[in-house]
Structure 1
Amino acid sequence: MSRTSKMATGLVGLALTASIATWLSPAQAQESVPTPKAMAAFRVCLAAAKAGVDCGQPVYDSCQAAHDQPDTTLSITECTMTTHKAWDVILNERYRAVIAASPPNFKLKLQKAQRAWIVSRDADCAAVYEAYIGGTIRGLLYAGCMVEKTSERVRWLKEMGED
């Protein structure tokens, strides 16, 4: 193989790698939103949730059912990020409720803690994404990290809001 052919093959490989990384990037995977029906099922599950129940499953399943290529790395990643969006909606609702019901001192501490948590969550999940830089699994691992961290925070905020 000539030097020019090797260079062209390398550029094609680089373009393909860049293309794969693009469709699995965290920013792009975050574009999907849960359907109102899936969000309603998610809320019902959360209201009656018992330990160990995966309330994100209805959101994920709805996303997969609507996807034109279900059960692919891309759809799994996108649907996991859709599940993250559902958790993020609940997180923001619970945060606002706790803030609204809190005395000023606690409110300031919680606002500071929430800002720090967002930075920490994003850094942790970005590190997961970067650790798997050469693989197509990186987007899914990033999405899973976002779901895990956000769902944990929702539970924590629920405890903070209970009397």
Structure 2
Amino acid sequence: MFKTQIMTLLCLCMSWALTAEAQEVQYSSQPLDACLQSATTALEEQGCIGLASQVCQSANDLGGTTVGMVACGSKEAEFWDKKLNEIYGSLVKKAEASDREMKEIGATVPQILPALRDMQRAWITYRDRTCDYEYSQWGGGTGGGPAIVACQSRMTALQYIYLKHSWPFDN
């Protein structure tokens, strides 16, 4: 009994140490920034997805491990989430201004802001269910963590790219 408890404690300590070390991975969004700046189309921007995570994994000793893949993937997911929140905020302002203008001139057109919010809420549910599905395919195995992080990063990046190109008056 005592031996089992010691082994459990040892495993937990090793897990915490690996997690702490993985959180300090060498990560840079520079490869993503450079790729996005050089991209001229949405399709080229899609080619940037996963780039920083791959560079991070190559640059770190734990990069090829489950812990390293999750740490690097999570950093890139944070990058895309920030970009998505920025573009969504920008579109909310544009939608508010457009809806206000249409109301002022008495136009009877559908409002953009409620449609944008409904779409984004539905997308969040879609992203979560899609990534749950991808995670479930790993049957609780160690690949599940990297799979769900990669899925959320990819889906968030694709939504950012979609929203970035969705306002018809900017193109």
TM-score range, shorter chain: 0.5 to 0.7
Helix, strand or coil for the counterpart of 2:148?
helix
Give, in angstroms, the shift of residue 115 of structure 1.
Answer: 1.6
1:25-104 alignment runs, 5 A limit? 35=28, 37-38=30-31, 40-45=33-38, 47-49=39-41, 51=43, 54-64=47-57, 67-102=60-95, 103-104=98-99
TM value normalised by structure 1: 0.67
Match of 2:105 in 1: none
Helix, strand or coil for the counterpart of 2:89?
helix
Identify unmatched segments of 5+ residues in structure 2. Answer: 100-110
**Aligned partners of 2:154 and 2:147: how far apart in 1?**
10
Give, in angstroms, the shift of residue 132 of structure 1.
Answer: 2.1
Larger Rg: 2
Alignment RMSD (CA, Å): 3.8
Which of residues 138, 141, 145 is equivalent to 1:135?
141
Give, in angstroms, the shift of residue 79 of structure 1.
Answer: 1.5
**Aligned partners of 1:49 and 1:67: how far apart in 2?**
31
TM value normalised by structure 2: 0.64
Moved beyond 4 Å, runs of 4+: 29-34
Helix, strand or coil for the counterpart of 2:165?
helix
Return closer, same or farther for 1:133/1:33 CA change in 2, 3 Å cut-off: farther
Identify unmatched segments of 5+ residues in structure 1. Answer: none
Give, in angstroms, the shift of residue 142 of structure 1.
Answer: 0.5
Helix, strand or coil for the counterpart of 2:166?
helix
User: Given the alignment of the two structures, is residue 111 of structure 1 paired with residue 117 of structure 2, yes or no?
Assistant: yes
How many residue pairs match? The answer is 152
8 Å Cα contact 1:34/1:85 also seen in 2: no
**Aligned partners of 1:153 and 1:30: how far apart in 2?**
26
Helix, strand or coil for the counterpart of 1:81?
helix
- Measured against aligned partners, the alpha-carbon deviations of 1:47-89 in whole angstroms (never above 9, x if no partner) come to 5356255213442244335534222222122212222222212
Match of 1:148 in 2: 154
